[in-house]
Amino acid sequence: MFVTTFLKACKLIQQINASKSKSIIQIKRYIITQSRTARQSYIQEEKARQIDRENQLLFQKILGITMKHRNSSTTPTKTTLNYKTRKDFQQKIMDENQKLFSRIKQQTSYYKIQKSQTKSLSKQRANSSYLPSKKLQELYQSKLEQGGVSYKIKVIIDGQLFKIMATTEEQSFTRVLEMMKSDGFLLLKNVFQNDFQKLIESLQISDKITIKGIQLIETHGKFG
């Protein structure tokens, strides 16, 4: 009887110990599971906070760009001032060119010299601008074919005069266009960008020499 009771008590103790072991294992597993869950939750929360910080930085950058664009559209900048300066300078050039055109139109002379006339010019003509002076300076020389006629073109400075001379290859006659030297250089600079060849290509030769650029000035009231 005693032995039976003892055995039952031992078995009960074993069952209790086994139950305790299972409980301890379950508790450990629960603790581990909770720890992993907490760690994952922490990681996710940290990622969310990082994303939120990045979004805030991005928002601040976009806001800064937007405000900068608004300020640049309402506040005069250096570029705007430069544009106004260039516009005023261009208007000044146009005004000067208009005055230049008026002077050229009033002062320009057109005439032709026949080969047979060269030696028989009067003393009065010899003292005028019809004949080159000792202060003759040739600036440019080229050829131009127009209306089936070939011309030898010279651009010269003769004293205070700016002259364009067109002579046929047979040297049967010469056409001359002259204006004041200062106006000639202004015309060359403002209309033809100091390109003599452009000037020569713009010549229209008939019984006199005309410049297509001058015709444009007369039509539009400006050049340059």
Structure tokens at 2: 């005693």
Distances 191 to 110, 140, 207 between C-alpha atoms, Å: 20, 17, 24
pLDDT of res. 125: 38
Structure tokens at 172: 């049967």
The interaxial angle of helices 78-107 and 212-220, nearest 10 deg, is 110
Structure tokens at 164: 């364009």
CB 208, CB 177: distance < 8 Å: yes
Q: What 3-state DSSP class applies to 146? A: strand
Q: What 3-state DSSP class applies to 155? A: strand
**CA–CA gap between residue 176 and residue 203 (Å, rounded):** 11
User: Percentage of residues in the chain with pLDDT exceeding 90?
Assistant: 13
Name the β-bridge partners of 24: none
**CA–CA gap between residue 163 and residue 185 (Å, rounded):** 11
> Tens-of-pLDDT digits for all 224 residues of the chain?
554 555 555 555 566 556 656 666 666 666 666 666 667 777 777 777 777 676 666 666 656 655 665 555 554 555 555 777 777 777 777 777 666 666 666 655 555 554 434 333 333 333 344 455 557 899 999 999 988 899 999 999 998 899 999 998 887 888 888 888 888 898 888 888 899 999 999 898 888 888 875 654 433 333 33
CB 66, CB 59: distance < 8 Å: no
List, for residues 117-144, the tens digit of each pLDDT value.
433 333 333 334 445 555 789 999 999 9
**CA–CA gap between residue 162 and residue 107 (Å, rounded):** 11
pLDDT of res. 167: 92
pTM of the entire structure? Answer: 0.45
**CA–CA gap between residue 161 and residue 155 (Å, rounded):** 11
CB 175, CB 115: distance < 8 Å: no
Chain centre to alpha carbon of residue 137: 38
pLDDT of res. 219: 35
User: Long-range contacts: 153-157, Cβ < 8 Å, 24+?
Assistant: 153/200, 153/203, 155/196, 155/199, 155/200, 156/132, 157/181
